[in-house]
Structure 1
Amino acid sequence: MADNADRAAVTIQQSLEATLARRATLATQAANDECVDCGYPIPAARREAAPWATTCIECQGIREMRGKHVHQS
């Protein structure tokens, strides 16, 4: 019978594996030099500053504005 520590260890391991899988997916997407929203190239300065970025600055700004708008409702 598993105790609380065993269940916690399993939960932590599953969370870690899910996080690593998401990061691998983002890294693969970021390998593309194109924005996933508009398809235009992501500027080199943005790729250097945020290598995980999958959107250009303009599209990221739109995403953030939409997110703020949703939270204010």
Structure 2
Amino acid sequence: MPDDMDLCQQINQERIDDALADHYRRRVTGTSLTHCVDCGDPIPAKRQIYSPGCCRCVACQTDFENSFKG
């Protein structure tokens, strides 16, 4: 019988899998979101056109990319 930690890991993995599938689906179809997933502000139409599949506004995307630079 799975313990609480196993259940937490399973739920976490399901959320990761769902997020990756959603990201892949947007990239393949080129469908951008209309509002930023981080701050909720509208994503400008030009960004949606020139960055197909985007899910963040420019400011949040910059912060997101900088978070990996250490």
TM-score normalised to structure 2 length? 0.56
5+ residue gaps in structure 1?
1-18
5+ residue gaps in structure 2?
1-19
Equivalent positions of 1:30-69 (< 5 A) are: 30-69=31-70
> Displacement of 1:51 after TM fit?
1.7
Across the aligned residues of Structure 1 and Structure 2, the Cα RMSD in angstroms comes to: 2.9
Q: Is the 8 A contact 1:26 1:54 kept in 2?
A: no
Equivalent positions of 1:19-34 (< 5 A) are: 22-24=23-25, 30-34=31-35
Q: Is the 8 A contact 2:35 2:55 kept in 1?
A: yes
Q: Which has the larger radius of gyration?
A: 1
Please list every run of at least 4 consecutive aligned residues from structure 1 whose deviation after the TM superposition is greater than 4 angstroms: 19-22, 25-28
Are residues 21 and 31 of structure 1, via their aligned partners in 2, closer, same or farther at CA, if it must alter by over 3 Å?
A: closer
Q: Which has more helix, going by share of residues? A: 1
Are residues 61 and 45 of structure 1, via their aligned partners in 2, closer, same or farther at CA, if it must alter by over 3 Å?
A: same
- Kindly provide the amino acid, as one letter, of the partner of residue 40 in structure 1: D
- Kindly provide the amino acid, as one letter, of the partner of residue 58 in structure 2: I
Are residues 43 and 27 of structure 1, via their aligned partners in 2, closer, same or farther at CA, if it must alter by over 3 Å?
A: farther
TM-score normalised to structure 1 length? 0.54
Cα distance in 2 for residues equivalent to 1:21 and 1:44: 20
